[in-house]
Amino acid sequence: MKRGFLKVCAATPDVQVANPKFNTEQILKIVKEKEKEGVKLIVFPELCMTAYTCGDLFLQDILLEETKKQLVYLAKETKDCDSVIAVGFPMTKDAVLYNAAAVLFHGKVIGIVPKTHIPNYSEFYEARHFAIGNNITDHVYLDGQEEAIPFGTRLLFRCSNMKDFILGLEICEDVWVAVPPSAMHVNAGATVIANLSASDETTGKAKYRRKLISGQSSNLICAYIYADEGEGESTSDLVYSGHNIIAENGIVLKESQRFLNEQIVTEIDLQHIQNERRRISTYLVEDESKQGYTFIDFAFSKVEEVKLTRKYRQTPFVPSSKHEQEERCNEILLLQAMGLKKRLQHTHCKSAVIGISGGLDSTLALLVTALAFDKAGLDRKDIICVTMPCFGTTDRTYTNAVELTRVLGATLKEIPIHDAVALHLESIGHDLETQDVTYENGQARMRTLVLMNIANMLGGMVIGTGDLSELALGWATYNGDHMSMYGVNSSVPKTLVRYLVKYYADTTEDKKLANILNEVLDTPVSPELLPPKDGEIAQKTEDIVGPYELHDFFLYYILRFGYMPAKIFFLATEAFKGKYDGKTIYKWLASFYRRFFAQQFKRSCLPDGPKIGSVAVSPRGDLRMPSDASVQIWLDDLKTLEAEYGV
């Protein structure tokens, strides 16, 4: 449970209708199994201690008394379990019967929540037996437990030694109404909602249910654990499938196979939830819904490191499925193109000027510009692609740049800059044999000078090619490739650039274009500012700044979620297990932080460019960061890992 992770379970036990003793034994068996696995919250279905389909048997004293007896037994038998347990049962109070959920912890029932909304339509007739539990605030007593047990709809269960874990409960129908109790629970502080359900299965209902639960977790920015009744319920009129779902902030983390009584287990990230709520300033609303809540405090005996079973993808900016990738790539290309189209039309530009290198970024920028010209009804020959060979240019990248320009129907200009750069370096007293940062940046700034002046000459606009990953690392020459008149790639990370170019290669009907794009994809990423060795690229970016897949992973969790450095390191070791060891990840994560803080001055004066995803570094939008902030506390947090991980 360290680093904000909580292992949770949604469980469907085997049940026999109207047999509380059998049902309790099945519940107890699951509790003991899951507690051994480190599960800290176990949610069972609605009325699982009796089964949901008892009908008028709910009015029989013997069933209600036996259920109460079994609840006391269940509490006693789970005394040594360090898990919070939520079970559904029928409860009487003052001659009124409620459909209720009991929360058990360390051998006691610490709270009971009645169902707020009682369905009485179609196949449901709960109002025949159960009373509405809305706005109840009271206490009840159980045999063998001296303390009064809070009973009501506004109970929240708060963990004192895991401060981000605050549990709220609702029961089945409660989530299907316009304003669910969970909406008020989260407004009062709940981060986790448990729903004890008995939702019968009809054609198409599972798909709707899945959307409902994932949508509720998204709307409320919470974790939502949905436990459903399954096989064992009466099939006189209905069938129950045991459709368990665990969702977090709109994402279904785990889902059971229907028609099997399963227990699904995963880890929810409470820090993720709190960070999202903090980031979204409209999340909390000051209103009366926060009033009248009772907080029931408890503490786990042990708060340990969680062994993760949920997976973290190595490329969080790239969709996981091929269908999603294609859909997302098409959308991103359109966003980039439509942003550029508007700028071209607004400025009445006659042309677009791109420095084309034969690398990934300039290739994507050219593809986007061609699409923008098509959308605007402009002739692609007015896209001016300028190749500027210099000391580090190789035949491979030069050929890619030339062929790509021709096949897209743009206009190629070749302007070698060797002599101009050499003259400039000589004029400032720099030895051409000293291949230092001045040597490299002199080339980058000369290229930008050429592009800007050509744009002025032709009434055009310089299209920026730099991507989000380079901006985050500061891997751009200030007032060199750092500068443009519109940066179409400014919020596209390097890992996604690669997928966009690959998508274009895979979907174009032009085989020649596809072959060129695939050749670009196979070319090492390089600024090509140092002379080649034996005709091959001598300067590979990832050898200098580190693997872009690692940096994009860091970037996502730093800017999107604001995680602590030690947690990002932990997630990276999980995601890249078997690919990079801890020392490598530590080295490049520390490097990322140093570069990110030191290079903010470049991001503080970025050209305009379209935002296409949830992470961007525009100083006018997503990242308002001082250029002289200290990185020290971030590096200090990383140092805490040295003893633990031997890095």
What is the rounded distance in angstroms from the CA atom of residue 407 to the CA atom of residue 513? 6
> Buried (b) or exposed (e) across 365-387, using 16+ Cβ within 10 A?
bbbbbbbbbebeebebebbbbbb
Residue indicated by tokens 């599960």: 39
Backbone phi and psi for residue 103, each to the nearest 5 degrees, phi listed first? -110, 120
Report the SS3 class of residue 410: coil
281 has binding-site annotation: no
| Catalytic residue status for 76 | no
Interatomic CA distance for residues 577 and 424, integer angstroms: 48
The CA-based angle 259-237-57, given to 5 degrees, is 100
363 appears as a binding residue in the annotation? no
Phi then psi dihedrals of residue 217, to 5 deg? -65, -30
Annotated ligand binding at 73? The verdict is: no
Amino acid at 308: L
Q: Which residues pair with 142 in a beta bridge?
A: 145
- Tokens at 329, concatenated: 């790539």
506 known ligand binder: no
Alpha carbons 254 and 285: distance in angstroms, whole number: 30
From 34, 40, 108, 115, the catalytic residue = 115
Rounded to 10 deg, the angle between the 582-598 and 565-575 helix axes is: 130
Which residues in 422-539 belong to E strands, given as ranges? 460-464, 486-487
Residue 115: active-site member = yes
478 is in an annotated binding site: yes
355 is annotated as contributing to ligand binding:
yes
Q: Is 357 annotated as a binding residue?
A: yes
The residues with which 5 forms a beta bridge, in sequence order, are: 269
Which helix (H) or strand (E) is 353 found in, with range?
Answer: strand 351-355
Residue 197 annotated as part of some ligand binding site: no
236 is in an annotated binding site: no
Q: What is the 8-class DSSP label of residue 560?
A: I
- Is 507 annotated for ligand binding? no
Q: Tokens representing 253?
A: 């983390």
Tell me how far CA of residue 444 lies from CA of 366, 414, 515, in angstroms.
19, 16, 28
**Residue 359 annotated as part of some ligand binding site:** yes
Residue 228 labeled ligand binder: no
587 labelled ligand-binding: no
d(CA 312, CA 328): 19
Residues facing 411 on adjacent strands: 384
Choosing from 7, 34, 40, 46, the catalytic residue is: 46
Contacts of 377 (CB under 8 A, 6+ apart): none
Q: Which of 9, 54, 172, 222 is catalytic?
A: 172
Neighbours of 404 (CB within 10 A): 24
Is 588 annotated as contributing to ligand binding? no
- Is 304 annotated to bind a ligand? Reply is no
Per the rule left: phi > 0, alpha: psi between -120 and 50, beta: everything else, 569 is: alpha
CA dist 470 and 472 (Å) reads 5
List, as one string, the DSSP characters of 108-130.
Answer: EEEEEEE-S----STT--GGGT-
Active-site residue 536, yes or no?
no
**What residues form the annotated binding site for ATP?**
355-362, 465
Catalytic residues: 46, 115, 172
Binding-site residue numbers for deamido-NAD(+) are 441, 470, 475-478, 602
Which residues belong to the annotated binding site for L-glutamine? 121, 199, 205
Binding residues, by number, are 121, 199, 205, 355-362, 441, 465, 470, 475-478, 602
